[in-house]
Structure 1
């Protein structure tokens, strides 16, 4: 009867087993070398992109690109520089691994990319990342000053062209300004304060007591401005309509802003995932390209014997 234990024995010699293990053994030194190359190259490329970006804006001229264009350009540059750095690091890791097997060299490149990505994420989310970001605070402040100056010029032009838009963050502020700016009454300061308080209670108070608050506000406005009660009631109704419209506009603007933020976050996450996948693929194939192809001398042959390539 045949020995069943022979079925599970390896058909190769122990020496061949050891050679297979050596060919596929991971080299952390090669991976770290690829990580350092990728990090330094990405830093150089990002600094180059920062320099080119700053040359496209000016604090004295008004023909600067808009913020959207700058953001898109910076994002594309970051993605491209990350892919180039990942490919360079992957090739370095695959080459330094000394593995003649392309798949093994490719996995060295892939692991190098993974470690590099982890280091970059750690730097961006740690205190060290804050220190690195602080180095560019001066540039950011300068660009912010340009934007504030442009915004101030636009606001000045808008005020010269016509009345200012309602204040969406505090819809009652414009109404209060109109009340305090009106003239009339025997004691303007005290009566205006009462009118402002009564109108605020009407607009922001309990809706169940709205009618009583409206009568009180109309009476206060009539005394503060020295106008008939009917005219004061019409004015109070106008203020209430203005307030309701401003609140509705603010809610609509908040919804649009939330929707735009949601879309931007979703697109950013998808693009970031795609960029990472492309970077990983670039590192893997670059690592395969870095696989070595050594020549070995067959056993028992002299130095002049023909070489056998692995």
Structure 2
């Protein structure tokens, strides 16, 4: 009798050692659920106005407040979606028999973390473009439609080129070919210098002022002042974009860490419910 019991225990331990501790089906299911819920919540956020700042002056919230609100919502999305995915990964995994409670807790947290990692990879690989279209759909679609109507592409420096060449319509020379050539040259000068973070040389500033003077009718001194003003505005705009990108990266990092923690914690609850050891007080 004792021999049979010992043999059964040895066989059970051998099977446990050979069996995988990872339930990939539960992890994949939790990851897909988390990714789908993330997309749904991003769509909801866009619907309630967390996708764009109001174009009307003194209406809605400021861009800084909007950035903070969007960042907080991004963290909430990560917590909610990752918690659901982690809970499903823990609840749907196989039941481990003869495993210490500490090992069960570790495996549950690992399942939640792997579900979060799987959902993150899916979101980056397949859902990034869809989420970007949802978040920036309104303003992006309007820009593309406007660009199509005017018959030309709108580059990142087009606004500053317009500011540099702004003139009195009554005195403006109406040479479309020459105007397009001047705009293209100014655009290339701005793009090459500002994208590389280089200062405009005195020769480039003088040449830009000559182009502006020729197209607008300003004298050389006023044209140089306008060029200096537009360069300062362009640098300010790029610096604001850089700061906004840095803030978004910090919010994204925070949301990822919160999502990983939430998924791991929720998986322990799901696993406990699965094993009948979780008690709701």
Give the TM-score category using the shorter length. Answer: 0.5 to 0.7
Quote the offset at 1:265 in angstroms: 0.6
Larger radius of gyration: 1
Residue number in structure 2 paired with 1:5: none
Distance 1:287 1:16 in 2: 27
Distance 2:274 2:79 in 1: 23
Please tell me whether residue 144 in structure 1 is matched to residue 138 in structure 2: yes
Quote the offset at 1:169 in angstroms: 4.3
C-alpha RMSD of the superposition: 5.3
Residue number in structure 1 paired with 2:234: 250
| TM-score (norm. length: structure 2) | 0.56
Distance 1:242 1:46 in 2: 47
User: Are the equivalent residues in 2 in contact too, given 1:42–1:81 (CA < 8 A)?
Assistant: yes
Distance 1:265 1:86 in 2: 24
Residue number in structure 2 paired with 1:42: 34
Residue number in structure 2 paired with 1:282: 266
Please tell me whether residue 32 in structure 1 is matched to residue 32 in structure 2: no
- Please state whether the residue corresponding to 1:178 is helix, strand or coil: coil
| TM-score (norm. length: structure 1) | 0.52
Matches within 5 A, 1:1-310: 18=10, 21=13, 25=17, 27-28=19-20, 31-39=23-31, 41-42=33-34, 45-46=37-38, 49=41, 56=48, 72-73=72-73, 75-93=75-93, 96-99=95-98, 101-126=100-125, 129=126, 140=134, 143-144=137-138, 148=142, 169=158, 171-178=160-167, 181-182=170-171, 207=202, 235-284=219-268, 286-288=270-272, 290-291=274-275
Structure 2: unaligned runs, 5 residues or longer = 55-59, 147-155, 191-199
User: Are the equivalent residues in 2 in contact too, given 1:23–1:100 (CA < 8 A)?
Assistant: no
Change in 2 beyond 3 A, CA 1:207/1:108: closer
Distance 1:117 1:27 in 2: 23
Which of structures 1 and 2 has the larger relative contact order (alpha carbons within 8 angstroms, sep 6+)?
2
Structure 1: unaligned runs, 5 residues or longer = 1-12, 153-166, 226-231, 294-310
